Amino acid sequence: MSAEASLIDGKSVAAALLAEVRAGAEACSSAGVAPCLAVVLVGEDPASQVYVRNKERRAAECGIATRDHRLSATSSTAALLELVRALNEDPAVDGILVQLPLPAGIDAEAVLLAIDPRKDVDGFHPENLGRLMVGRPRFVPCTPQGCMRLLAAAGAELRGRRALVIGRSTIVGKPMAHLLLQADATVTIAHSRTQHLAREVSMAEVVIAAVGRPEMIRGEWIAPGATVIDVGINRSANGGLVGDVEFAGARARARAITPVPGGVGPMTIACLLRNCVDAATWRAGLAPAP
Ligand code: NDP
């Protein structure tokens, strides 16, 4: 084993996926279907504004049109539900993205449930999560999908391997665990009530950290030769971005590791656009819808 893990370069893996997305969008357009993503942003949250701007810019680069719907932070749940219903019924819209988090006064669960599962390109609707669980996925949530693509790019063996997912959120940890299970890994899910996290980490051949706590996974916990995917995006004390994994220490022991930034982050948007082009491909009749 080399002294230092190789870096899993999310930017280049995402660039290759975006090239596929662009080709898929062109095929749809040639078949008379212009791929279209509706983006709903409620309120003025600065981070959400940045995310939405990035998604729209990348979509344009791939030949996916976006429709921008901005609502004030004081909008009612009913107003948002009305907009979602209209987008559900609009045949020109392939995907609906409601940027999270929604302002406190809005019933986020009701809004996500209202999205037509066939346009739910984030893959958060219970129908899509259920499909993933039974092994018949339609839209796979973007961040875990991106992690799987990074594992493939890193040549990580999953079949029969011990994989640890740290975090059990509905949008990252749980779907991640199912994807690893479908790839025949032996999967453990750790969370805030897990005892002996260091021991769990030290036994894992693949570690996916999705907690949201800066550098809480210590480098010395990582098993020699493990593959490490760090989903966390946290502000460090000096204002920079750090992951959930103590990078330098982990890199000294792992076989391959994602950097933060430049690892999982670029994959999430690319997978969102991939889901959107899949929906357009089904609308164009170029592939059967699942
Ligand atoms: P959530 O806050 O929804 O979930 C965090 C999970 O971590 C929970 O399941 C929680 O357990 C668990 N947890 C908390 N403390 C501990 C602990 N001490 N030991 C073990 N587990 C713990 O976060 P998300 O899943 O939405 O996101 C996780 C991270 O990933 C965040 O940093 C977020 O910014 C980042 N992220 C990055 C994306 C990207 O594109 N790169 C996209 C999405 C998220 P419990 O359930 O018991 O509370």
Strand partners, 207: 164, 228
Residue 255 forms part of a structural domain: yes
Catalytic residue numbers? 55, 99, 122
Same domain, 103 and 169: no
pLDDT over threshold 60, residue 137 = yes
Q: Which amino acid is at 131?
A: R
Domain identity same for 173 and 255? yes
Same domain membership, residue 152 and residue 261: yes
Does residue 1 have a pLDDT over 80?
no
Q: Considering the domain boundaries, does residue 285 fall inside one?
A: no
The Å distance, Cα 209 to ligand 1 centre, comes to: 8
253 touches 205 (CB < 8 A):
no
Within-domain flag for 218: yes
187 and 242 in a single domain? The answer is yes
The atom number, within ligand 1, closest to the CA of 212 reads: 32
Are residues 112 and 146 both part of a single domain? Answer: no
Looking at the structure, tell me whether residues 52 and 111 fall in a common domain. Answer: yes
What pLDDT score does 164 carry? 99
Q: Residue 73 has what pLDDT?
A: 96
Amino acid at the residue 204 = A
**Residues 189-236: tens digit of each pLDDT:** 999 999 999 999 999 999 999 999 999 999 999 999 999 999 999 998
How far is ligand 1, taken at its centre, from the CA of residue 80, in Å? 27
**193 Cβ below 6 A of ligand 1:** yes
Nearest protein CA to atom 42 of ligand 1, as residue: 143
Report how far ligand 1's centroid is from the alpha carbon of 244 (Å). Answer: 9
Q: Is 18 in the pocket of ligand 1 (CB under 6 A)?
A: no
In a domain, 56, yes or no: yes
Same domain, 200 and 232: yes
Domain membership flag for residue 281: no
User: How high is the pLDDT of residue 6?
Assistant: 97
Q: What is the CATH number of the domain that holds 93?
A: 3.40.50.10860
pLDDT of residue 2: 54
CB of residue 167 inside a 6 A radius of ligand 1 = yes
Q: Looking at the predicted structure, is the pLDDT value of residue 135 above 90?
A: yes
Residue 192 near ligand 1, beta carbon < 6 Å: yes
Angle between helices 264-283 and 46-61 (to 10 degrees): 50
For residue 50, what are the contacts with CB-CB under 8 A and spacing of at least 6? Answer: none
Q: Is 241 a residue whose pLDDT tops 70?
A: yes
Mean pLDDT of 27-43: 98
Domain for residue 67, yes or no? yes
Of 37, 50, 19, 54, residue with least CA distance to 121: 37
Pocket test for ligand 1, best of 109, 188, 231 (most atoms within 8 A of CB): 231
This prediction has a pTM of 0.97
Mean pLDDT across 50-79: 97
Q: Is the CB of 189 under 6 A from ligand 1?
A: no
The tens digit of pLDDT for each residue in 161-189 reads 999 999 999 999 999 999 999 999 999 99
Task: Tell whether 254 and 184 lie within a shared domain.
Answer: yes
Tell me: do 152 and 68 sit in the same domain: no
Q: What is the 3-state secondary structure (H, E, C) of the chain?
A: CCCCCEECCHHHHHHHHHHHHHHHHHHHHHCCCCCEEEEEEECCCHHHHHHHHHHHHHHHHCCCEEEEEEECCCCCHHHHHHHHHHHHHCCCCCEEEECCCCCCCCCHHHHHHHCCHHHCCCCCCHHHHHHHHCCCCCCCCHHHHHHHHHHHHCCCCCCCCEEEEECCCCCCHHHHHHHHHHCCCEEEEECCCCCCHHHHHHHCCEEEECCCCCCCECHHHCCCCCEEEECCCEECCCCCEECCECHHHHHCCCCEECCCCCCHHHHHHHHHHHHHHHHHHHHCCCCCCC
What mean pLDDT value characterizes the chain?
Answer: 97
- Ligand 1 center from residue 167 Cα (angstroms): 5
Q: How many domains does the chain have?
A: 2
**Per-residue pLDDT tens over the stretch 263-274:** 999 999 999 999
Domain co-membership, 249 together with 151: yes
Q: With 80 as the cut, is the pLDDT of residue 3 above it? A: no
Tell me: do 96 and 148 sit in the same domain. Answer: no
Q: 229 lies in a domain? A: yes
- The residue from 82, 117, 152 where one domain ends is 117
| Domain end among 117, 133, 162 | 117
Check residue 215 and give its pLDDT: 97
CATH number for the domain spanning 164: value is 3.40.50.720
The predicted pLDDT at position 237 comes to 86
Q: How far, CA to CA in Å, does 67 sit from each of 36, 87, 93, 257, 285?
A: 7, 10, 9, 36, 23
Indicate which residue's Cα is closest to atom 13 of ligand 1: 192
End-of-domain residue from the set 102, 117, 132: 117
Looking at the structure, tell me whether residues 109 and 148 fall in a common domain: no
Does residue 102 have its Cβ closer than 6 Å to ligand 1?
Answer: no
Residue 222 lies in a domain: yes
Q: Which domain holds residue 254?
A: 141-265
